[in-house]
Structure 1
Amino acid sequence: MKKPNKRLLYAIELSAVALGIFLFGTYESIRRAETMEQWVAHTHNVLLHTGRITLLSVENEINARNFMLTGYEKYTEQFDRTRAAAQWELRVIGALTSDNYHNRLLFDSVSLYVTKRADFSARIISMRRAYGLDGSVKLVQSGEGEGYAEKALTFIRRLEKNENLLLAERRAGSDRASATMNTSITISMLFVILLVGMLLYRARKNSVRRGALIEELERSEANLHTIFDHTDMSYVLIDAEVKVVSFNKPAMAYSKEQNHKTLEVGQSVIDYFPPSKRQGIRETLKKVSEGATIRYEYSLLQADGSLKWFEVKWVNVTGINKQHRGFILANKDITEKKVASLEREKIITDLIARNKTMEEFTYIVSHNLRAPVANIIGLGEILEILDADSPDREAVTGYILSSVNDLDQVVKDLNQVLQVREEVNEKKEAVFFSDIVNEIRSSIPLISSKNTIIECDFSEADHMHTLRNYLYSIFYNLIINSVKYSRKDVTPMIRLKTARKDHLLEISFEDNGKGIDLEKNQSTLFGLYRRFDYSVEGKGIGLFMVKTQVELLGGNIQVKSEVDKGTEFRIVLPVGELEKQLVTTGAR
């Protein structure tokens, strides 16, 4: 009996030493994982600030050109604020990239061309003040400022490319560190289970050593629980019968806060999930028991209306013979990282939209403003040549007034477009869709004169909390277009329907009108001053306004159409907490 006892003692001592090594390795793995997370966050910050500097540079140019077109001093105030903010962002990026020689060189180029771009915009403002619209337009048309924006964007993209490569590398390192940490924890837990079994066996065989062995076991468990309880991950150990075996303090805190239940050893883990999710959890456990590792993200709505995001991982626990022994459920709060990701996506989307708006404005300056200005200049020269009593003076004067009116209309249209963005920060309210439709029905005589039929199905969602002016404008433009572009000898029919899915609201507008040839007009359908049917009076602003307002509300719009059959517009808008994350971030 002595030899087996000695072998058992040696095995216990060897297991204890191995456990200590794995515990130390686990501690170091956690530290490495936390360090890699910090580096990932550092790279995220660089990308976030490069996105902001690009957005601020575009806003600088927009404010300068708005002042050039309108002469309103409020745009110069906005220009000064965004210019100062851009300089602050440059200082932040400079500090963040100071430890990277290659990125530092790229940042110096970014800083140079962003500053030149802002200085050129300042010159446009100065020329507008000194020489009026004509002088500032000539400065823009001179091409002197061309290339600054493109070079700045090129170097920013190169900087972002470097940072994205670095981010991918650091994420891979973080994933490796997390995998190492989880593996170390799993092995440590298996060692604890093994050690517990051997200690209990020896305790039964040798009552004299029982007290010391139990104390050693408690110390080992205490060390393991200390590691588990001081990580930001929630861990639950589950046996093969899906019953809770052990858990750490973060897991208990999560269960109390999110499930309003207390974790208990021996309780089925299935019971801690909502009834609607239990079948999916059973399927997940089956896949994990067969050797798969399952990872996914999910969100939970909190009592204060906010969303919390979590990343969960299910791991299979096997014995020495690869036999399934149980599961490890790891859960981590990733709300900050998720919100930062959403904010970055929103900044990128907003940047693309603003660049597109700049292209539209450039188009207007190059085409819509050039013609009336050239006409006025040419007619003015003719007027100087004519004698005071010439019968042609009255006709030339009339042509000049007509060109001035054309120029005034373009400026008014621009003001209307600019005013839309000014209204995005106004107070929101509960807006009922049926009220909007009734107001529009009574305000447009063309609806009744054409005997238009408007069918509404707002059973899934009859209202939303939003900007009333925006929603009214969206409904108005889509309904009036359906009426104006109806088919001859066919009674106009318009169907409006809402649908709610999670945090999204869908509003569809379907008619039986002329339809749109999307193969020809898809790319220009929502453009400013873009028209595709000249048989009906219009200016090409309505659909541009609809798309702009939908995107400012954080949504998107899609269209399906067939010629001589009809058109359907589908608008998807965020509601609730998702709206706060997408719209409020964009408003900043």
Structure 2
Amino acid sequence: MKSRKGKRIYLIVGIIGILMLLNIFLIKQYGRKIEENQRIINTTQRVVINAEELVQTLHLLDVGIRGYVISDKIVMYQSPFDSATFRKNQALEYLKTTLSRQNYPLATFSSLRDTVDSYFNFVSKIALQLHENNLRKAESMIAEDRGYPVWLMAKDFSNSVTVFEQQIEQKAYEEFEKAIDTSYWLQIILFILTLPTLIYAAVYSVKSISLSNKLRKSEYDKAKILENQNETLDRLVRKRTDEILAQNEEIRAQNEEISSQNDIIMQHNEEMGNQQLLIEEKNKELTTQNEILNNAKATIEKQQKLLELRNEELSEEVARQNEDLQQTNIELVDQINKLEQFGYIVSHNLRAPTARLLGLGNLIVQTSGDEREKIVGLMIQSSKELHEVIDDVGSILLVQRPGSKTLERVDLRESSQKVQRILKHEIDMTEAEITEEWGKESVIHSLPLYVESILYNLISNAIKYHRNNKRPTIRINSYSVEDKIIIEVKDNGMGIDLEKYGEKLFGLYKRFHLHVEGKGLGLYLVKSQVEALGGKIKVESQIGKGTKFSIYLHK
């Protein structure tokens, strides 16, 4: 009960503290609000003064020009004009900034500002006419009396701003009074809430003091009772101590008898201890033997697992070698087929120039003079054709699997630039436009000669087979997909009918545009070199639109 009342007092004090803090916070907030409204009131008054100031500058300007007319002294005009200009600019700048912040419609203000500036310029022109002694012109300009409409406009604007600012000022006064009233009510509410709490705390304090006095008297009475009880207890303890001492004498005699019996028991325990040591030694020997057996068992199990793993590895190795053999057999059959085709093509291509050489050799024996020279020329042409066939055979035979060559670091960007330098004459002749967009990974490990040959054949074909009425446009780009890099070469040339020539596209000596000079060897070399590098090639083409080759190579 006492603890509960104490907690209640702490709770009351805490509530009072919170209310005090809330009061301080709200007083500060309303103080800021009062200051803000006071600032708004001051601003409205200043705006009204500046609007009136604008009207007065017009009066000052009229006074200056009329003083100049009367006295014919420039100082009678210049000083009022400069003062009016300064006051006008200062008033307009302040009005623009403040009215914009107060959301006043600035269209009216802008119109007034332009009119006032125009009137000032007009007055300057009158002064200039007076200065140049053009009195008649100046009098006619003064007679127009442009100042009065401007003054009326400024006066209307001043009245409008005064009404607008009075509304803002009225609202600010209302907010000001509202903040003060709210602060008063807050103090009253806080007093009403705090007064019962303080009264309760005072009553509880009086009760606590009275209760404390009663508790102090009760503690004194308890102390007297405890003192009497302690004296009685001391007498009983002394009596009981004497009895215990007598009993201790009896126990000591019994202990001596027990001690002699313990000596006998200890002798028996020593004999049993010796026997226990013998048993422990036997147990240690058995434990050692068990450990040796367990180690031997673990070694056997470990060797058994190693044998099983080795058998699995051997099985996997045999399976892998079988797969390699199967793949090698497939590649060997493919190479045999290619060699058969290659042998047929080579024999066919060699037969024609060889036959012509034999025939021309027989003819040269039977002819003389000009005919003989003509036949010699034909024999030279056939020899060149034979030489080209032999060069082509050499180029084809150079295409080998990359396993027989060391892979090197190849920068695709540099390889492309090198090929373009080689083809510079063809590029300049056709005005070909080549754009490149290499991906982040433009470096691979491959055979540089193969990569350059692939790019050379694709770019040279794109230039060679362009449309006559179209400027060649070639786009080269690359990007990565997993462990592959894809190189794309796209042109806007003649295109290829893939439905008709798709299966023959990469064949040896296959040509599809006979009106353009060529041998039909480039695409065959490209495909052979790509496959020799372990890659693949894809083609997309439309007649009259262009062709795109996609080369897939290992990084």
Report the TM-score, using the length of structure 2 for normalisation. Answer: 0.42
Please say which structure displays the higher CA radius of gyration. Answer: 2
Give 1 or 2: higher strand fraction. 1
